[in-house]
Amino acid sequence: MNIPPTNRLRFRLMDPASAHDRELWFDLDQDPEVMRYLNEGKPTTRDENDSFVAPRVASFTDAARGHGLWEIADIQSGEFLGYILVRCYRFDKAEREEDNIELGWRLKRSHWNRGITSEAARAIMEVLKRDPALRAFSALTSPDNLASISVMKKLGMRYVDERFHLIEGRAPYPAVYYEMPAR
């Protein structure tokens, strides 16, 4: 799958088997503010990156469907700015929702508050919604993460409810769930 560039951004599906790509997301995860609402601001260790994060990303990466981590890069300089996560909602559960695409994002702090996350997510959603089987786009975040909630609203998502976000091997944490129809 190919995501056309915008005026400011280009996109590439990251490869969890690539040491280069793993290093990009490892470096991003070293900023405590980037990690603030994900794990209370603790940087990811190399061991966590290699033994937990990379295999988890590999488990949902599917190039044909456009699932995985989409690199966001500056179209002029090529600088890595962050990524958009794309996967089936509940991808790791028996109740997997194939028709509901969960979106997530991480962006270097130096590029916050410039509309980059919304622009990148919209560009990716435009391509993904061509799938006639797709029913919805969704996202989860901490109730305190007002910046991510703002992105969800800008994308057209609406608040559905609060629920616990469950990640294997980690304590469940409260999250707000937003969703929007794919069309």
- Look at residue 84 and give its three-state secondary structure: strand
Angle at 46 between CA 114 and CA 138, to 5 degrees: 45
168 confidence band (pLDDT: 50, 70, 90): low
Tell which residue, 72, 140, 64, has the closest CA to residue 100.
140
Indicate the average pLDDT of the chain: 93
DSSP code for 115: S
Decide if 4 is inside a domain.
no
Decide if 3 is inside a domain.
no
- Is residue 171 predicted with pLDDT exceeding 80? no
Backbone angles phi, psi at 20, to 5 degrees: -60, -50
Q: Check which CATH number belongs to the domain holding 153 and give it.
A: 3.40.630.30
Q: How many domains does the chain have?
A: 1
- Is residue 173 predicted with pLDDT exceeding 90? no
Tell which residue, 89, 86, 88, 79, has the closest CA to residue 28.
79
Mean pLDDT on 159-170: 80
pLDDT of residue 125: 98
Decide if 150 is inside a domain.
yes
Distance CA 59, CA 45 (A): 20
Distance CA 16, CA 21 (A): 7
Decide if 1 is inside a domain.
no
Q: Which domain holds residue 60?
A: 9-181
Distance CA 19, CA 105 (A): 20
Decide if 166 is inside a domain.
yes
Give residue 75's identity as a one-letter amino acid code: I
Burial tier of 80 (Cβ tally within 10 Å: 0-12, 13-18, 19+): buried
Per-residue model confidence as pLDDT tens digits over 5-44: 999 999 999 999 999 999 999 999 999 999 888 877 888 8
Per-residue model confidence as pLDDT tens digits over 53-83: 899 899 999 999 999 999 999 999 999 999 9
pLDDT of residue 154: 97
Per-position DSSP letters for 15-81, written without gaps between them: -TT-HHHHHHHHHHTT-HHHHHHHHTTPPPPHHHIIIIIHHHHHHH-BTTTTBEEEEEEETTT--EE
Decide if 82 is inside a domain.
yes
Decide if 2 is inside a domain.
no
Mean pLDDT on 76-93: 92
CB distance 141 to 100 below 8 Å: no
pLDDT of residue 169: 64
Decide if 55 is inside a domain.
yes
pLDDT of residue 170: 67
Predicted TM-score (pTM) of this structure: 0.93
Backbone angles phi, psi at 155, to 5 degrees: -75, -10
